[in-house]
Amino acid sequence: MRRFSYFKRKNSPYYYVQLRNPVTGKYLPPRSTRQKEVSEALLVISEWLKHGFPEASDGGRKGISDVIKLDTILTYIKDTPLSFADVQKIAEALEKKESVESIQVKGQNGDSLKLVDFLELFWDYDSSGYVREKHAYGHSIGRRHCYEQSHRLKHWRSFFPGAVQVRDLTRTQLLEFQLYLKEKKGLSPKTINMILDAGTVAFAWLKERGDIDENPAEGLRKFSGRSTKRGILSLDEVRSIFPIPWKDERARVPNLVAMTTGLRAGEILAQKMKNVEENKIHVRHSWSTQDGLKPPKNGEERTVPIVKSVYTALSRLAAHNPHGPNEYIIYQANPGRPCDNKVFCEGLYDALANIKLPNEVERREKQKEMLS
């Protein structure tokens, strides 16, 4: 691939040069060498390739690599479809430059922005003004929460036309949206309320900032109803399930820890043997796929007592860690990260399928016997 091209224009006595961008394959805008002879023009071009283009403003030089980088950025911006969130990220990157004080992106206050585009930006952890404010005031908000809220926006997009703007949204439309989720989608009351929260939190934030005059979700009722009751294992089932062979010790051990300590899944995933003593576990962190290692819920460290069998199980699993005993106890194929909690959830279901569960009548009779 040729690095540059040089030529003369019709109405000019000088030679011009165009560099070729190796990333895009396109030529950059031509520059005049101010030379009439080919040999002199080539000498100028050679000097530019070595030392950079002269900058008229300050007399300095701009390296060829920097010129190509800038051309690549501008090419992709012009040729790539950009969402509002993409534009916002570009604006924020420019604001970090000392020469740029502030950039106002059209519609970023929600006044003239399409509804779902705004909500997607609102729950974009890296670009959200809401997230930035939460952190500034010392409030906790994680990537996982933003990811879950973003995932619920698919229901908003399936119901609201793409042209609907935040400023045009009414409470009646939101009520119809609730009924759509209930009657057409058949979702549970709890799920519907969580989907609505992905929007109502954003509208309340806009109203508080003064970006909209009325909050369309104000006064909107939430669905009530009981969620499906979750069952718990009886003592006999617990006694039956842990002694049997499990397909994966990385499933059995965290379930054993959860059963005996009440630790959350993320808190178990974050454990290393340096936090484990013979009779206690120091809970200093939690783990989530989106956030990585983070403080425990409510930001408070604590110490949880454990029995000897739990300590033994953790020690043995750590000793079999192919990445070394100082890595995450609930390891995965790659070092530096624990495994996904799906491993021990699926392992529990497999183990449950391998024990004979008593029917409901037998279970209730045994519970009565234990209580009498």
How far apart are the C-alpha atoms of 74 and 93, rounded to whole Å? 14
Where are the domains positioned within the chain?
Answer: 4-75, 115-209, 235-371
The phi-psi region of residue 52 (left if phi > 0; otherwise alpha if psi is between -120 and 50; otherwise beta) is: left
Q: Does domain 235-371 have CATH number 3.90.1150.10?
A: no
**Backbone dihedral angles phi then psi of residue 251, each to the nearest 5 degrees:** -100, -40
Q: Is 29 exposed, middle or buried (0-12, 13-18, 19+ CB in 10 A)?
A: exposed
List of residues 6+ apart from 237 with CB closer than 8 A: 355, 357, 358
- DSSP assignment of 279-331, as one string? TEEEE--EEETTTEEEPPGGG--EEEE--HHHHHHHHHHHHT-TT-TTSBSSB
Classified as helix, coil or strand, 107 is: coil
pLDDT in tens, the chain (372 residues): 678 888 998 888 999 999 989 888 888 888 899 999 999 999 999 999 888 888 755 567 888 888 888 888 888 888 777 665 677 677 777 777 766 666 655 554 544 578 998 999 899 988 888 998 898 888 888 888 999 999 999 999 999 988 888 888 999 999 999 999 999 999 999 999 999 999 999 999 998 888 888 899 998 888 886 656 667 787 888 888 888 889 999 999 999 999 999 999 999 999 999 999 999 999 999 988 877 888 887 778 999 999 999 999 999 999 999 998 889 999 998 888 999 888 888 888 888 888 865 554 454 455 455 444
Rg (CA), the chain: 31
Give the angle 363-227-170 at the CA atoms, nearest 5°.
175
pTM of the model: 0.53
